[in-house]
Amino acid sequence: MQPVNRLADKLEQQSAIVFSQSQAQLRELEKQLQKLYSYRDGYNEQMIQQSRQGVGSYHLQDTLMFMNNLNQSIETILKQIQQQKIICQEKREIWMHSHNKKRIYTKVTEKYLYEEQQIKNKQEQKSLDEFNQNLFHRNTRKS
């Protein structure tokens, strides 16, 4: 049973690592999204300031084009985050499945070892009883 338990443990550890890595990728995407939001907020403020100061249309067009690209990047990251959340959920389910399998194998092994010990204890008790019985019969014959 030990090889089965070791294999189940190894599979659980591997799936936990994959799940953890997928969560790290999700957190990284979320950090990137927050940076892009921050950049966009900064450029929005800058655009408002420039429009108040009467900046030329060429410069305003460049800023608007940059803002459009920034918004597209934000949309792309949002889609990636949604995909990564799905991947994380799948990896979590795989990890939970392997974790539950490991627990089942562990319980079966514990039950098997317990039953094996009970059988061994009964055999030892039987041998001890037979020994004591033989000893008693020898002592009664001598008397």
Average pLDDT over every residue of 104-119: 92
Convert the pLDDT of each residue in 8-29 to its tens digit: 899 999 999 999 999 999 999 9
Beta-carbon count within 10 A of 6 CB: 11
Report residue 124: phi and psi, to 5°: -65, -40
Confidence of residue 46 (pLDDT cuts 50, 70, 90): confident
- For the question of whether the overall pTM of this predicted structure is more than 0.95, the answer is no
CA dihedral 95, 100, 105, 111 (to 10 degrees): 160
What pLDDT, on the 0 to 100 scale, is given for residue 143? 62
Q: For 2-142, CATH number?
A: 1.10.287.1700
Please give the Cα distance from 136 to 74 (Å, whole number): 90
Can you tell me the mean pLDDT for 72-95? 98
Task: State the first-to-last Cα distance of the chain, in angstroms, to the nearest integer.
Answer: 52
